[in-house]
Every structure is written in structure tokens, then in C-alpha cells.
Amino acid sequence: MTRSGHTVRALTALAALFVGVTFLIPVIWMFAASLKPESAIHRDVGAVRSFVPAPPTLENYRGAFHRGDVGITLVNTLIVVTVITLGGLLVNGPAAFAFARMRFRGCELLFLLIVTTIIIPLELIVIPLFMTVRTTRGLVEIIGERPWTLAALSIPFMAKAFNIFLLRQYFLALPRSLEEAAFMDGVGWWGVYWRVALPNAKTAITTVILLDFIVHWNDFLWPLVICQAANTRTVQLGLGNFFTQPPISWGAIMAYAVLATIPMMLILGVGQKRIAQSLVTTGIRE
Amino acid sequence: MARREMLTAYMFVAPAILMIAAFVLWPAVITFHTSLHRTTLTDPGPGEYCGVENYRAVMSDPEFRRSAINTIVFTVLVVPAQTVLALLLAQWTNGPGWASRSLRLAVLIPTMISLTVLSVLWKLLYEPVSATGSGLFNGILTSLHLPPQPFLTSPRQAMPAIVVMSIWQGVGFQMMIFLCALQQIPAQLREAALLDGAGRWRRFCHVTLPGIAPTAAFVVMMTTIFALKLFVQPFLMTRGGPQGSTLSIVQFIYETTFFRRDLGLACAAGAVFFVGVSTIAVVLRRMLRAAECLR
């Protein structure tokens, strides 16, 4: 390579670095502000110091826990997301397998019906869904406010047309020979599903779990509609509420925001590429 | 197929079908049903039948019109800009080397953070100059000796401010999908074009663009639908203000339900919204298909 080629490459790399850092300014500021005393946040604004967490303090995190109850909202969100992903797998998996492998009366029609519901956004049905779910409000007397709300946050979202569609694509691609061998051994459909199909569809299952986790960890609209008591809020709703509640402390708000972000970052750091890939492949094939 | 196996099949699909029917199809039906009745939030069921009265009311409602215009403006500003930016970034960072990799990671980080967190964060960043201090952006403007801006507190700047924040948040996701598509273009095609002496621009137009066209069509569809569902950013950053300049359709539906308590009107708005989104999706799909055939 020539000397000028080297220079061009070095300049491009520098440009990339510059663009990257500029792009991240808001996020860097969020982390820095969460670790600084309130007065320092306002004093440093606009200076390079505003990106340096000095003097560092955990006071804001204490504020997020004590005044903002971030702890209980994190626990709530974790419960809701776990119920949705695991319950969803129990509901969507067998359905996807049946649509991929079994022939039964009405299977095409039913599958078409399910796939059509992919185009129905939550925003369209949020009000009537709220009216439907509200009819079970009487259960609050029996099971209590918090369990009822957590159930209302999770159960309606377990069955999901898109997940059935995605899992079915993977089951269709599995070689039939595997299942035939299992049938020879006298295993029924359940056995084939649990012992052959599921273990071979690990990639698809991970994708579905990741997608569900992201969507429902981030959801704001449904919790906003359904949560009434403070101890039933999800972490996103809790943050949306905390940041308008006086006395307003930017540091504590940013600490809350960081705590709401870290679990997602961990999950997505692992799974982002896989999600994009499966969206590309299923999206084009559709 | 034997009867027993048929029964097993139904057992496999029954839970999913029943739940989708109860939590998706049934509410969708109720939306249309309620939109034809005078109903308030406190009524136990739909009230008296009133034909298309709610539809007439919602179409002539100045707030609904405002929200529809705002939502469309947001979509028209966000989708093309974000798609072009994502494509440029994907093209730039598609390759080995630590610089490309770091930039890729940097652009991806905002997409890993929830819209709620980012809306709250950018609300603070956009904060105007006041006695207690200003937001980061106005701080930077001041230290550069530029005039401070009102951003979210001005009816003219609020929507552009939300647009910028939304592009910043969403561009990484689109870039990731474009990167996957770029990597699936066979290397031989590029090499053949190189051997034929095609320049950078011609290679981009004749090899890269056709190679990613199906993905691009898919991405544009997804982003458009996502943009039309705008809610969290304006709800948290401006509550739809100032002077209704950032009120979105979804927020209109939410407020009509819980503040005006007019379920019939809210459901009519929801139905109009659904038909609108579906129409746009179908038209867009046709257009993108046609564009693909043209090449």
C-alpha cells in the first residue's frame, strides 16, 4: 500500500472514532450525571467536565431506591417478562410445531387467521383490551392488587402470532428423518416435539425469547393503562413517573435510568446480531 | 389422518388460538363495535347505537386532525432520513478494523436503551436556560458563544427536536439489518464488477443496492409502521405540547379514553388509525415491489 493510502485510512479511522464519540455524548452524560452530586451536574453543564463523574457519589442511586422505589419496579418487570417469555414458549411452541408438521381439518385457515393478527398493533386494541381485562378486576379482592396487575401485564401477551410464525419457519426447516427415527421408537407427537423438535430449534427459541424480552422490558403504553398502585409499576413506567415527581433531582433520575438500562444492555450485548439476522431471513422470506 | 392424531393437533394449537382470540381478535372486534355506539369509560358495556356519529365527530375534531398531521410529519421526516443514514453507516462500517467496529458499537448502543429512558434523558438534554441551570445542549451552545435555543418549549422546535432524537435512537437498528444484508451479497459479484472496471459509485448502484433491495423494502415498511405509532417520546418529553405541536394519534386515543372518558370516540379514532396504517403499509409495499421490479 502506498503512503497516501495509509494516510487516507488513518483519517477514515479518526473520522469514525470522532463520529462514534459524538454519537454517544448523551449516553456518556447519562452515566456521568448519575454518579455526580446535583450541584456539580448543573455547574459543569457544557464543559468537558460534564462527562466526568467527579466527585463520584452513589447518593443518586440511593435516591432512586428510596424515593423512586426502583427496586420493586425492577422486580415487577423481571417477573412480567419471565412469565411472558416462558409462558409464551409453552403456548407458541406446540402451536408452531403443529402448523409445521401436522395436517388437521382447518389448519390452513387457522394459520392464516393467526398470521393476519400480526398486523394488529397493540395501539389499536389497547383500549378494548383494557376494557376486556378490566372485567376480571373482581379478582383483586381474592388475589390482591399486585398479583392481579402483574398477571394483567403478562398473560395477554404470552400467545403471539409473530413468534408462532417464526418458530414454524424453523420447524419446517428441520429434517424429517430425525422425527421419523423417533416415531420408529414408538414416541408419540408430544415426545417428538419435546425430545426432537425443541432441542433442535434452540436458535429460534433464543431469538423468540430475546425479542419478547426486549419488547416487554421496554413497553410503556400497556403498563401506563393498567397499573394503578405504585408498587405494581414496571421499571419504565416507574421512571416516567419518577421524573415528574418533585423534588426533581437530575442525578437521581439519571441513576434510575441507568438501572432501567443495564439489564437490557446485558441481554442485547449477547443477542443483537442474532435478532437482526433472523429478522432479515424471516422478513424477506415472508 | 387418524382421529387421535387430529385431536393431538388441536390440543397443540388450542391454547395459542384461544389466547390470541381473547386478547387480540376480540378486542379488535370490540374496537369497531364500540366505535358505533355512544359509550363512556364508566359504562359497563357499549351504550346506544349511533351509526357513524363517532367517526364524523373524530374526523372533524381539531385535536384529532392536529395529531394526525403531527404523526404524518414525524413519519415523513424520520423514515427517509433514518434509512439513508443507516445505509451510509452500514456501508462505512462494513468491514474489519477496530475503527469500523467501534463506530458500529457506538451507533448500536442507543437502540439497546428503551425509548422511555432516552426520552427522559433527552428531555433533560434539551432543557432551556433557566435560573436552576440549563440542559447539556444549551450548555454546549453557550460555551461555543451561540444563542441558546428553546427546543422542546417552542411550538416550532419541539417536533424537530423529537425527530432528531428518534433518528438517533433508531438508526442503529436499521444499520444492523443493512449490515446483515450487505454481508449476504456474494463476494464474487463485487469482484466481477471490480474486474469490469466499475467505479465505487457504479458498484454501489449495480451490485450493492440491488443486493439489499428486499431488505431495504422490509426495513422501510417496519420503520414506517413504527413511526406512525409514535407515543412515548412526545408523551414524556412534551405531553403533546407546546400548543399541541407534538400531539400524536396514539396520545389522542389515550387522552380521549382517560381524560375525556369518551370510549366511542377513542375507538373510532383507533379504527381510523388502524385503517390508515394498513393502507399506508399496503401502498408502500406495492410501491417498493414496483421499484424492485424496475431495476
What would the pLDDT profile of B65-96 be if each residue is shown by its tens digit? 999 999 999 999 999 999 999 999 998 888 77
- Among A39, A57, A75, the domain boundary falls at A57
Number of C-beta neighbours around residue A157 at 10 A? 24
Q: Is B113 on the interface with A (CB under 8 A)?
A: yes
Contacts of B27 (CB under 8 A, 6+ apart): A125, A128, A129, A131, A132
Residues of A in contact with B17 (CB under 8 A): 95, 110, 114, 159
Number of C-beta neighbours around residue B160 at 10 A? 14
Residue with cell 418487570: A77
In this prediction, residue B88 carries a pLDDT of: 92
Q: Are B139 and A50 in contact (CB under 8 A)?
A: yes
The partner residue sitting opposite B177, judged by closest CB among A24, A218, A279, is: A279
CB spacing of B16 vs A94 below 8 angstroms: yes
Q: What are phi and psi of A95, to 5 degrees?
A: -60, -45
| Average pLDDT of the segment spanning A52-69 | 87
Residues of A in contact with B109 (CB under 8 A): 24, 27, 265
Of residues B233 and A42, more confidence is placed in: B233
Between CA A168 and CA B254 the distance in angstroms is 35
CB spacing of B124 vs A250 below 8 angstroms: yes
Q: Is A3 on the interface with B (CB under 8 A)?
A: no
A246 in the same domain as A184 = yes
A200 in the same domain as A87 = yes
Between CA B214 and CA A224 the distance in angstroms is 36
A100 in the same domain as A211 = yes
Residue B1 has pLDDT above 70, yes or no: no
Work out the pLDDT band at B170, boundaries 50, 70, 90.
very high
Contacts of A99 (CB under 8 A, 6+ apart): A107, A110, A111, A164, A168, B13
In this prediction, residue B293 carries a pLDDT of: 64
Burial of A57 from C-beta contacts in 10 A (0-12 / 13-18 / 19+)? middle
- pLDDT above 90 covers a percentage of chain B that reads 46
In this prediction, residue A273 carries a pLDDT of: 67
Q: Is A255 on the interface with B (CB under 8 A)?
A: no
Q: Are A19 and B103 in contact (CB under 8 A)?
A: yes
Number of C-beta neighbours around residue A125 at 10 A? 26
CB spacing of B236 vs A120 below 8 angstroms: no
Residues of A in contact with B278 (CB under 8 A): 119
Between CA B239 and CA B248 the distance in angstroms is 10
Q: Is B268 on the interface with A (CB under 8 A)?
A: no
A40 in the same domain as A90 = no
Between CA A55 and CA A70 the distance in angstroms is 24
A214 in the same domain as A82 = yes
Q: Is B212 on the interface with A (CB under 8 A)?
A: no
Kindly list the structural domains of chain B, giving each domain's residue range(s) and its CATH number in brackets, ordered by start. Answer: 63-294 (1.10.3720.10)
The per-residue pLDDT for range B191-224, each reduced to its tens digit, is: 788 788 777 788 888 888 888 888 888 888 889 9
In this prediction, residue A284 carries a pLDDT of: 44
| Average pLDDT of the segment spanning B137-164 | 92
A93 in the same domain as A116 = yes
A84 in the same domain as A40 = no
A235 in the same domain as A175 = yes
Q: Are B10 and A143 in contact (CB under 8 A)?
A: no
In this prediction, residue B247 carries a pLDDT of: 96
A75 in the same domain as A40 = no
Work out the pLDDT band at A275, boundaries 50, 70, 90.
low
In this prediction, residue A278 carries a pLDDT of: 65
Number of domains in chain A: 2
Of residues A273 and A261, more confidence is placed in: A261
Q: What are phi and psi of B37, to 5 degrees?
A: -130, 150
Of residues A261 and B45, more confidence is placed in: A261
Task: Name the helix (H) or strand (E) containing B271.
Answer: helix B263-294
A181 in the same domain as A268 = yes
- pLDDT above 70 covers a percentage of chain A that reads 93
Of residues A13 and A30, more confidence is placed in: A30
Substitution target from B29, B67, B116 for chain A, most A beta carbons within 10 A: B116
A101 in the same domain as A76 = yes
CB spacing of B1 vs A221 below 8 angstroms: no
In this prediction, residue A239 carries a pLDDT of: 95
Q: Which three cell numbers stand for residue A21?
A: 464519540
Largest CA distance in chain A: 79
CATH (domain of A236): 1.10.3720.10
* Lowest-pLDDT range of A151-155, B23-27, B44-48, B99-103: B44-48
The per-residue pLDDT for range A198-257, each reduced to its tens digit, is: 888 888 888 888 888 888 999 999 999 999 888 999 999 999 999 888 888 899 999 999
- Domain with A106, as residue range(s), is 65-285
Residues of B in contact with A94 (CB under 8 A): 11-13, 15-16
Residue B190 has pLDDT above 80, yes or no: no
Residue with cell 422501510: B220
Residue A270 has pLDDT above 80, yes or no: no
| Average pLDDT of the segment spanning A133-137 | 88
* Structure ipTM: 0.88
A199 in the same domain as A107 = yes
Q: Please report how many Cα atoms fall inside a 13 Å half-sphere around the Cα of residue A275, on the Cβ side.
A: 22
Question: What residue ranges in B101-174 does DSSP mark as E strands?
Answer: none
- Among A57, A75, A96, the domain boundary falls at A57
Q: Please report how many Cα atoms fall inside a 13 Å half-sphere around the Cα of residue B264, on the Cβ side.
A: 20
- Among A57, A73, A90, the domain boundary falls at A57
Residues of B in contact with A137 (CB under 8 A): none
| Average pLDDT of the segment spanning A278-285 | 55
Residues of A in contact with B254 (CB under 8 A): 126, 221, 224-225
The partner residue sitting opposite B142, judged by closest CB among A46, A97, A98, is: A46
Q: Which three cell numbers stand for residue A207?
A: 431469538
Number of C-beta neighbours around residue A22 at 10 A? 9
Question: In this structure, what DSSP letter does residue B262 have?
Answer: B
Q: How many helices (H) and strands (E) does chain B have?
A: 14, 0
Between CA A122 and CA A275 the distance in angstroms is 21
The per-residue pLDDT for range B4-38, each reduced to its tens digit, is: 778 888 999 999 999 999 999 999 898 888 899 88
Q: Which three cell numbers stand for residue A58?
A: 452513589
CB contact residues (below 8 A), chain B span 77-96, against chain A: 92-93
